[in-house]
Structures are given as structure tokens and as C-alpha cells.
Amino acid sequence: MNIILLGPPGAGKGTQASRLVADRGMVQLSTGDMLRAAVKAGTPVGLQAKAVMESGGLVSDEIVSGIIGERLDEMDRDSGAIFDGYPRTEAQAHSLDTLLGDRGRDLDHVIELEVDEDALVERITGRFTCAKCGEGYHDKFKLPKFEGVCDVCGSSEFKRRADDNEETVRTRMAEYRAKTAPILPIYEARGLVKRVDGMADIDEVTRQIEAILDA
């Protein structure tokens, strides 16, 4: 099964994708995570992406579709893919069709996380992750069980994203409205769009997604 998680910055795409990885053995393909890794490693892609990401704009369609193609080729044929943060433009949606078709894969669901944009700034500015294993946390909604210690790996080092400030978040949201939301009708016409309440608590959102996958 191959699915897209669609929603604005802070909607919970990464949070829900990592649960599906743990619960169902699916593979998370997050272009944001891949680009951040490239920036950190100082690769040519990372050098091109860094300033764009810090401003909240979108990295070029060629770059992101290129890295998605590479990841699909590395995947086990039987594993399902969760596209997190991709596609984000009409051109990327068309590229994804080609990338999947060339590999004999179908798209099963496009799950839209419906959220209230005003609440997202708080979600994003409060977000932090374990620097070692990447587990996601939030200052208010998901603190580690023991203060300063990662629940998963026990590390005491955490980090925050360079683009998680209010000004950049507003730009990222405007990009979502202008370039990403318009791809929904493409998938609606194919009957693939399913909606979940992204404002419910994290466990409830997971339950709603699992119900779609199990239907």
C-alpha cells in the first residue's frame, strides 16, 4: 500500500508517518527529512536547498522528485510507502505518478489532515526532536516522560529546526495554500482523498488513519 499524507506545516504528517512505520512496517519518505540530512552533510543538493528552506520557500521540483525516485529504488518491493511532504506542487504530483507507474506501484490513499491554521504556529514553535534517534516532542503536547531524557533511546540531546520560527512558518503556510492545496482536486477526481481530523489528539488521528487503511 502506498499513501500520501497531505497537510500544512505542523499538521502532524511526520508524527503520524512514524507511527505507521512502527505499527505496520511501512517506509516513510519525507522530503523534508531527506533535505535536512543533505543540508547537514553539505552535499550539492544540501547546498542548493539550505537558503530556500530557511526562507520557507519550496526547493525545486527536479531535486525533490529526483531524491524520491532514488529512495523508491532502494526500497524493498513489498514495502508500502508513506509520502510525507511530497508531492507539494502539481508538477511533483505528475512526477509521482510516473515514478510509481514505472515501478509497478499504485497510489492507494491521499489522506488529508484537516487542521486549523491558527493552532499550527503553536505546534511548530513548540516542536523539538531527539538529536540521536529523531523521536518528535512538543513543549506542551508531548513532553518526554522523564524531563530531558528521550523516551525511545535515552539520549539527553534535543534539537529544534532552523525553519521553526513564526515568520518562516507563515511563509511555509502561504506556500502550502498557493502551491500544495491545489493538488487535492487531482486526487479527488480519482476518488483517492480521505479526510481525518488533524485537530484531534495524536492517538485519535492515528486511529482515524488506521481505520482508512484497514477499510
> Is 107 within 8 Å of 100 (Cβ atoms)?
yes
The rounded distance, in Å, linking the Cα atoms of 114 and 197 is 5
Nearest to 187 by CA among 64, 81, 87, 117: 87
User: Which residues does the annotation mark as catalytic?
Assistant: 13, 88, 127, 161, 172
CA pseudo-torsion sign 84, 133, 120, 40? negative
The rounded distance, in Å, linking the Cα atoms of 38 and 45 is 6
DSSP conformational letter for 164: -
Q: Which residue is nearest to ligand AP5 (CB)?
A: 32
The rounded distance, in Å, linking the Cα atoms of 122 and 165 is 10
Task: State the binding string over 91-130 for ligand AP5 (x if CB under 6 A, else -).
Answer: -x------------------------------xx--x---
71 binds ligand AP5 (CB under 6 A): no
Question: Applying CB under 6 A, which of residues 50, 71, 109, 172 lies at the interface with ligand AP5?
Answer: 172
59 binds ligand AP5 (CB under 6 A): yes
14 binds Mg ion (CB under 5 A): yes
194 binds ligand AP5 (CB under 6 A): no
Give the count of beta carbons closer than 10 Å to the beta carbon of residue 176. 19
Sort residue 42 into left (φ over 0), alpha (ψ -120 to 50) or beta: left
Q: Which of residues 130-159 bind Mg ion (CB under 5 A)?
A: none
Question: Applying CB under 6 A, which of residues 2, 28, 31, 95 lies at the interface with ligand AP5?
Answer: 31
In the complex, the smallest distance separating the C-beta of residue 30 from Mg ion, rounded to whole angstroms, is 6
DSSP conformational letter for 199: T
Instruction: Identify which of residues 13 and 109 has a Cβ nearer to ligand AP5 in the complex.
Output: 13
**Binding residues for Mg ion, per CB under 5 A?**
14
**Binding residues for ligand AP5, per CB under 6 A?**
7, 9-15, 31-32, 35, 52-53, 56-59, 64, 85-86, 88, 92, 123-124, 127, 136, 138, 141-142, 163, 172, 201-202, 205
